[in-house]
Structure 1
Amino acid sequence: MPTFIMTANLTQQSMQGMIDKPEDRRAALGALFTATGATLKDLYFTAGERDILMIVESDDPNAAVAAAMVAGASGAGTGLQTVRAWTPAEFAEIAKKAGAAASSYRKPGD
């Protein structure tokens, strides 16, 4: 199943809400992803450029983005980034496909 790595920053509103009512946000975010047809596999709060990192699986890439739209529209997060991730085995299959297609390509100037 396709895997997506999603990162975002928490808003001041979210941070204040977490201070006022500390809770594990996995259940709330998991329910949101489930409602769109995706699965939240892992959730991490991080230090650095991004505040939150989520590992999401979904056959439909639009499902993960739909969940992010809901969270963003609520004022909880900002600066969402979503990237597709591949396992080493999945990437090996991509490399095989690239190898089979390589002879059909001509680079610029050749």
Structure 2
Amino acid sequence: MSFYLFRGRYSTDSLRALVDKPQDREAAAGAMIDSMGAKLHHLFFCFGDDDVVALIEAPDDETMAACALVVGASGMMSGGSTTKLMTSAEAMNAMKAAARGRASYQTV
């Protein structure tokens, strides 16, 4: 399973709806993500360019893309992005592979 960071910005209409009728978006997102075979670890509301960030664990990129597509197609968000994350162990493996591959890389 891989980890992903989802960042999103609510549309003006969605923000208005949340103010008019507060609701637990973590529960709604978690149910959808669980139904797709993934797991929502955390959902945070935040200040700045994004309104919400979520840490999601999914079995593969296709599953995470499907989750993001569901959210995007809902019209709730005016924008967002998904970043695939690596554990420290995965990063160490990449560093070791880079050290091996460096010998065959030629610079100009």
- TM-score scaled by structure 2? 0.91
Measured after TM superposition, the shift of residue 101 of structure 1 is: 1.4
What residue in structure 1 maps to residue 87 of structure 2?
87
C-alpha contact (below 8 Å) 1:37/1:60 kept by paired residues: no
Distance in structure 1 (CA, Å) of the matches to 2:103 and 2:13: 54
Distance in structure 2 (CA, Å) of the matches to 1:82 and 1:54: 9
C-alpha contact (below 8 Å) 1:33/1:63 kept by paired residues: no
1:12 is the counterpart of 2:7 = no
Matched to 2:34, the amino acid is T
Runs of at least 4 residues of structure 1 off by over 3 A? Answer: none
Measured after TM superposition, the shift of residue 48 of structure 1 is: 0.4
Measured after TM superposition, the shift of residue 81 of structure 1 is: 0.6
Distance in structure 2 (CA, Å) of the matches to 1:36 and 1:78: 23
Q: Which segments of 5 or more consecutive residues in structure 2 lack a partner in the other structure? A: none
CA RMSD of aligned residues (A): 1.2
Distance in structure 2 (CA, Å) of the matches to 1:23 and 1:71: 16
Percent identity for Structure 1 against Structure 2: 33
Distance in structure 2 (CA, Å) of the matches to 1:43 and 1:89: 24
- TM-score scaled by structure 1? 0.89
Distance in structure 1 (CA, Å) of the matches to 2:4 and 2:64: 8
Matched to 1:16, the amino acid is R
> How many residues in Structure 1 have an aligned counterpart in Structure 2?
108
Q: Which segments of 5 or more consecutive residues in structure 1 lack a partner in the other structure? A: none
Distance in structure 2 (CA, Å) of the matches to 1:13 and 1:35: 26
Distance in structure 2 (CA, Å) of the matches to 1:57 and 1:83: 12
